[in-house]
């Protein structure tokens, strides 16, 4: 993990609100429908929300492929 510090003050309040509201909308829909596609959309929106609080290095670590060995 990187020692970078994310400056939350640099993130615009409207972006915080937009991503949170997007996640909340998808989460509610998934709870209502119980459809896996809606759950996946909620998960993607959650990841978008979390990206606001990660450094670039942390985001890069999450995009690297994982190799599972037997």
pLDDT tens, N- to C-terminus, the chain (70 residues): 455 666 667 678 888 899 999 999 999 999 999 999 999 999 999 999 998 888 888 888 878 888 888 7
Q: What is the pLDDT of residues 24-35, one digit of tens each?
A: 999 999 999 999
**pTM for the predicted model, two decimal places:** 0.70
Residue 2 forms part of a structural domain: no
Residue 43 forms part of a structural domain: yes
41 and 29 in contact (C-beta within 8 Å)? Answer: yes
Give the burial class of 26: count Cβ atoms within 10 A of its Cβ; 0-12 exposed, 13-18 middle, 19 or more buried.
buried
Residue 68 forms part of a structural domain: no
Q: Which domain holds residue 28?
A: 8-63
Listed in sequence order, the residues at least 6 apart from 48 whose beta carbon sits closer than 8 Å to its beta carbon are 19, 22, 23
If one counts the domains in the chain, the total is: 1
Residue 46 forms part of a structural domain: yes
d(CA 3, CA 59): 13
Give the burial class of 22: count Cβ atoms within 10 A of its Cβ; 0-12 exposed, 13-18 middle, 19 or more buried.
middle
């Amino acid at each position: 993990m990187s020692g970078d510090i994310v400056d939350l003050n640099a993130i615009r309040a409207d972006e915080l609100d937009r991503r949170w509201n997007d996640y909340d909308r998808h989460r509610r829909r998934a709870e209502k429908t119980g459809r896996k596609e809606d759950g996946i959309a909620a998960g993607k929106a959650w990841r978008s929300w979390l990206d606001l609080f990660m450094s670039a290095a942390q985001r890069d670590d999450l995009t690297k492929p994982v190799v599972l060995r037997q």
